[in-house]
Amino acid sequence: MSDDKPAEKKRGFFSRLVSGLSKSSSKLGESVTAIFTKRKLDREALDELEDLLIASDLGTAAALRVTDRLARDRFDKEITDEEVRETLAEVICETLAPLEKPLQLTGTDGPHVILFVGVNGSGKTTTLGKIAVKLKREGRDPILVAGDTFRAAAIEQVSVWGERAKSPVIKREIGADAAGLAFDALEQAEREGRDTVLIDTAGRLQNKAELMDELRKIVRVIRKKNPSAPHETVLVLDGTVGSNAVSQAQAFLDAAQITGLVMTKLDGTAKGGALVQVAEKFQLPIHYIGIGEGEDDLQAFNARDFSRALAGLEG
């Protein structure tokens, strides 16, 4: 009986994933159906499909791979909209599968330090909190750092997640030096024998040079305490921003050594294809995706499930 529970849980999340990505998949599916109803796969249809995929935030490279695959296999033949969506899912999965990578917190000297970065409103602090809860359930002993010292609401949010994760929260007064706070948190984690440090940072607009400089300072100060830290720098992207996620990712890559991605809010957007574009351009590992507010709505990324849900196909 217990052997069925992981499969049931996975199936349950796939159903929520399909529901969460319904805006993105409906936009794609309806347009594909309109193009390919009772029609051969001719050059005009391929051009229309390419334009559609680019407009859906998949990016030019992925769009071209889909149309090239279809042209190679089915050109000038009758084709159904479902066959087109199957090819779309295959190409997306091939693109993303090598980047499917869970957070693996092993092999570090001292506490494993994870820095969370992203623009305002990306879901960064909530993501940190949900990951803290997951880690606690897995038997780790995290400490949370309220490093967004500009906003009282962010400090309070980390405190709430600390309570949920039954983990201590390191915080200071509004306006305190975030880099110094991070340094103190690492010292406390070492002193108390904690194995994980999760550091929130102020939300940054990618065009604000002084805020990006502060992020670089946090990294420098952390490395004074542990030269190998931060061991992970996770960029949290808001799925609703579409192709703008590319410029955000570029800015944070310039400021910090990003090691992986989390994309949130995929349940509230028709622009879920942007994950394909960002991941492909920067070849960044994808750790989690978020499709809702609940703790269990942040799940380890699965390329096949995501690809099929985005294309509007059954699991």
The sign of the torsion formed by the CA atoms of 151, 216, 266, 165 equals negative
* Binding-site residue ranges for GTP: 118-125, 200-204, 264-267
| Digit-coded pLDDT (tens) for 130-142 | 999 999 999 999 9
The angle, 0 to 180 degrees and rounded to 10, between the axes of the packed helices 43-55 and 22-36 is: 170
Residue 48 vs residues 42, 54, 73, 208, 270: alpha-carbon distances, Å: 10, 10, 18, 38, 19
Residue 72 vs residues 36, 46, 56: alpha-carbon distances, Å: 17, 11, 23
Q: Which CATH class is domain 4-99?
A: mainly alpha
Residue for token pair 């049931």:
8
Q: What is the pLDDT of residue 130?
A: 96
Determine the 3-state secondary structure of 299 from DSSP: strand
* Binding-site residue ranges: 118-125, 200-204, 264-267
The angle, 0 to 180 degrees and rounded to 10, between the axes of the packed helices 303-310 and 81-96 is: 150
CA atoms of 128 and 117, how far apart (whole Å): 10
Strand partners, 288: 262, 300
Task: State the pTM of this model.
Answer: 0.91
DSSP-assigned letter for residue 270: S
Q: Is the peptide bond before 230 cis (omega within 30 degrees of 0)?
A: yes
Strand partners, 170: 145
Instruction: Answer yes or no: same fold for 4-99 and 112-302.
Output: no
Quick check: 225 and 256 in contact, CB under 8 A? no
| Digit-coded pLDDT (tens) for 58-99 | 999 999 999 999 999 988 888 899 999 999 999 999 999 999
| Digit-coded pLDDT (tens) for 237-257 | 998 888 889 988 998 998 889
CATH code of the domain occupying 112-302: 3.40.50.300
For 143, list phi and psi in degrees, rounded to 5: -125, 135
Domain ranges of the chain: 4-99, 112-302
Contacts of 51 (CB under 8 A, 6+ apart): none
Cβ atoms within 10 Å of 2's Cβ, excluding its own: 5
The angle, 0 to 180 degrees and rounded to 10, between the axes of the packed helices 274-282 and 81-96 is: 40
| Digit-coded pLDDT (tens) for 102-120 | 988 876 778 999 999 998 8
Torsion of CA 67, 27, 300, 283, to 10 degrees: 40
Residue 7 vs residues 11, 211, 225: alpha-carbon distances, Å: 6, 44, 43
CA atoms of 92 and 33, how far apart (whole Å): 19
| Per-residue pLDDT band at 1 (split at 50, 70, 90) | very low
